[in-house]
């Protein structure tokens, strides 16, 4: 083989090697870009989650500042302050409504539960809105928030904004209780004791009340346990 042909062959091999190397480098770059994108999305979700769950504990002014900065957990906390008159604020259901709505609109399930409870009660507002409360409870329950399921059960048990349905209420209380919501256990215990939507069973009712009481949250249940 002539020298010129050998030279061309070697140059061709080198070019192929360089081309393969470039391809591998480009593939690595693409993977790194994908990883960086995934990391950025994860960090964004974590920041959003922190904004929903972080709650202020430094008084009204700090809570308002954090709420306006997008920390919706603080919006929810402000709603609780104004709905109960807790701390240094004067009870104001209409202001509570605004803060709960702000929290709920930004995906705070706790804010939605509180908003639903306020709308269902209607005290201090221009009017109650049971239909909206029902829709909020349903949305939150479907999302896996057990407090929402208890609230929805209460609506069905009392026929508020929906036809009265003790069995549906009992099913929702059971779902909440099984999901770790102690008020759900209390409500299911009462339903079981009275045979409302579920077979009457004093022994089972006692167990449910005891479970709620042992959780040291639902003190009402301790009067039955």
Give me 19's structure tokens: 């081309």
Mean pLDDT of 155-166: 97
Which residues, in sequence order, are CB contacts of 25 under 8 Å at separation 6+?
Answer: none
Q: Which pLDDT band, with edges at 50, 70 and 90, does 172 fall under? A: very high
If one compares 43 and 191, the residue with the highest pLDDT of the two is 191
* Least confident among 40-44, 60-64, 88-92, 117-121: 40-44
Mean pLDDT, the chain, whole residue set: 82
Which residues, in sequence order, are CB contacts of 55 under 8 Å at separation 6+?
Answer: 73, 74, 76, 77
Give me 151's structure tokens: 């609230």
* Least confident among 37-41, 70-74, 115-119: 37-41
Rounded to 5 degrees, φ, ψ at 33 are: -60, -40
**pLDDT of res. 55:** 62
The 3 state secondary structure assigned to 35-50 is HHHHHHHHHHHHHHHH
**pLDDT of res. 66:** 92
C-alpha dist (Å) from residue 86 to 80, 154, 178: 8, 25, 31
Q: Is the pLDDT of residue 6 over 90?
A: no
CA 74/CA 51 separation, integer angstroms: 8
**pLDDT of res. 39:** 45
Closest CA to 147 of 120, 118, 173: 173
CA 163/CA 158 separation, integer angstroms: 8
**pLDDT of res. 47:** 41
CA 135/CA 59 separation, integer angstroms: 32
Mean pLDDT of 98-110: 95
Q: Is the pLDDT of residue 185 over 60?
A: yes
Give me 131's structure tokens: 């239909």
Instruction: Let me know: does 117 contact 100? Beta carbons within 8 Å.
Output: no
Instruction: Let me know: does 77 contact 114? Beta carbons within 8 Å.
Output: no
Q: Kindly state the helix (H) or strand (E) to which residue 71 belongs, with its residue range.
A: none
Instruction: Tell me the DSSP string of 142-180.
Output: HTT-HHHHHHHHHHHHHTSSS---HHHHHHHHHHHHHTT
Q: Is the pLDDT of residue 98 over 60?
A: yes
Q: Is the pLDDT of residue 48 over 50?
A: no
- Say if pTM beats, i.e. exceeds, 0.85: no
All structural domains of the chain: 54-128 (1.25.40.10), 146-225 (1.25.40.10)
Classify 114 as helix, strand or coil. Answer: helix
If one compares 117 and 14, the residue with the highest pLDDT of the two is 117
Determine how many CB atoms are found less than 10 A away from the CB of residue 160.
16
Task: Report the percent of the chain where pLDDT is more than 70.
Answer: 71
Query: Residues, the chain, total?
Result: 225
**pLDDT of res. 2:** 54
């Amino acid at each position: 083989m002539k020298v010129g042909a050998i030279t061309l062959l070697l140059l061709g091999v080198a070019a192929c090697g360089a081309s393969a190397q470039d391809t591998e480098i480009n593939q690595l770059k693409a993977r790194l870009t994908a990883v960086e994108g995934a990391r950025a999305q994860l960090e964004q979700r974590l920041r959003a989650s922190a904004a929903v769950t972080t709650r202020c504990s430094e008084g009204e002014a700090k809570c308002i500042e954090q709420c306006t900065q997008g920390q919706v957990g603080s919006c929810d906390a402000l709603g609780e302050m104004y709905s109960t008159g807790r701390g240094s604020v004067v009870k104001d259901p209409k202001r509570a409504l605004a803060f709960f709505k702000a929290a709920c609109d930004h995906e705070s399930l706790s804010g939605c539960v509180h908003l639903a409870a306020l709308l269902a009660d209607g005290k201090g507002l221009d009017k109650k809105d049971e239909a909206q409360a029902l829709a909020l409870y349903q949305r939150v329950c479907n999302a896996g928030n057990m407090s929402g399921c208890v609230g929805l059960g209460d609506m069905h048990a009392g026929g508020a904004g929906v036809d009265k349905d003790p069995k549906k209420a009992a099913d929702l209380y059971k779902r909440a209780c099984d999901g770790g919501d102690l008020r759900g256990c209390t409500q299911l215990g009462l339903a079981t004791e009275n045979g409302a939507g579920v077979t009457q069973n004093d022994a089972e009712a006692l167990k449910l009340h005891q479970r709620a009481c042992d959780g040291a949250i639902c003190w009402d249940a301790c009067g039955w346990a």
